[in-house]
């Protein structure tokens, strides 16, 4: 399981790059560098939230420390860098975020290896890729849809996805397996649509 946590994100990144349209490698060095710094800081500083049992603190722990915020941060940094033209060319949000998550996954595999917890070592990397690619797909959809209703729907989905991802972590941890699989499936819908259109247009 530790090997899965270590290798899933780089494997998925390479797989996606093999057929995704556009989204060059601009910003890739920054993504790897900043992701490494973030991973090292968290490795030494520890978690921001102390989980307590199965309640709200566990859900917040999943959102902030495990699943959602580690993906939201590189997306927001990409927005900041893109606005101020920190790098030239085009690099989509998914590529930048997946590259950022490669060192994060490595450090997490190291720190979680002693726990042998499939929720952390298997489910979490799957949720990371779902959010990274799914939110990127929704951002591009928002930019190109030209429809107010679809734009609002895209924004709502971008807000909901990190919540459902953290909810999937909480549900599996709390042994609500059916709810966990339902939330996991919902979180992966935009990723599935993104891969479908990438393969269709490749």
Secondary structure of the chain in HEC code, one letter for each residue: CHHHHHHHHHHHHHHHHCCCCCCCCCCHHHHHHHHHHHHHHHHHHCCCCCCCCCCHHHHHHHHHHHCCHHHHHHHHHHHHHHHCCCCCCCCCHHHHHHHHHHHHHHHHHHHHCCCCCHHHHHHHHHHHHHHHHHHHHHHHHHHHCCCHHHHHHHHHHHHHHHHHHHHHHHHHHCCCHHHHHHHHHHHCHHHHHHHHHHHHHC
Predicted confidence band at 200 (pLDDT cuts at 50, 70, 90)? confident
Q: What is the pLDDT of residues 29-88, one digit of tens each?
A: 889 999 999 999 988 888 888 887 777 888 999 999 999 999 999 999 988 887 776 555
Closest by alpha carbon to 126, among 199, 75, 192, 45? 192
Which position has the token pair 């459902």?
Answer: 164
pLDDT at 85: 65
Contact predicate 187/135, CB 8 Å: no
pLDDT at 90: 53
pLDDT at 24: 52
Structure tokens at 46: 């520890």
Calpha distance 173→79 (Å, rounded): 32
Predicted confidence band at 27 (pLDDT cuts at 50, 70, 90)? confident
Q: What is the pLDDT of residues 133-190, one digit of tens each?
A: 999 999 888 877 777 788 888 899 999 999 999 999 999 999 999 999 999 999 999 9
Closest by alpha carbon to 120, among 172, 155, 177? 172
Calpha distance 66→54 (Å, rounded): 15
Question: Of residues 10 and 143, which shows the higher confidence score?
Answer: 10
Question: Of residues 170 and 91, which shows the higher confidence score?
Answer: 170
Predicted confidence band at 119 (pLDDT cuts at 50, 70, 90)? very high
């Amino acid at each position: 399981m530790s090997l899965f946590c270590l290798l899933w994100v780089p494997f998925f990144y390479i797989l996606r790059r093999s057929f995704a349209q556009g989204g060059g490698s601009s910003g890739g060095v920054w993504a790897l560098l900043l992701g490494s710094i973030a991973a090292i800081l968290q490795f030494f500083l520890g978690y921001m939230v102390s989980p307590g049992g199965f309640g709200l603190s566990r859900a917040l722990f999943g959102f902030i420390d495990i699943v959602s915020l580690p993906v939201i941060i590189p997306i927001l940094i990409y927005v900041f860098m893109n606005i101020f033209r920190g790098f030239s060319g085009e690099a989509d949000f998914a590529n930048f975020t997946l590259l950022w998550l490669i060192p994060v996954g490595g450090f997490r595999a190291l720190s979680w290896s002693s726990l042998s917890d499939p929720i952390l070592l298997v489910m979490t990397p799957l949720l990371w890729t779902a959010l990274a690619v799914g939110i990127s797909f929704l951002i591009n959809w928002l930019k190109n849809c030209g429809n107010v209703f679809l734009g609002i729907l895209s924004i709502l989905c971008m807000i909901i996805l990190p919540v459902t991802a953290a909810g999937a972590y909480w549900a599996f941890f709390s042994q609500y397996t059916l709810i966990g699989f339902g939330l996991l499936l919902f979180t992966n819908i935009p990723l599935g649509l993104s891969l479908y259109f990438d393969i269709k247009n490749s």
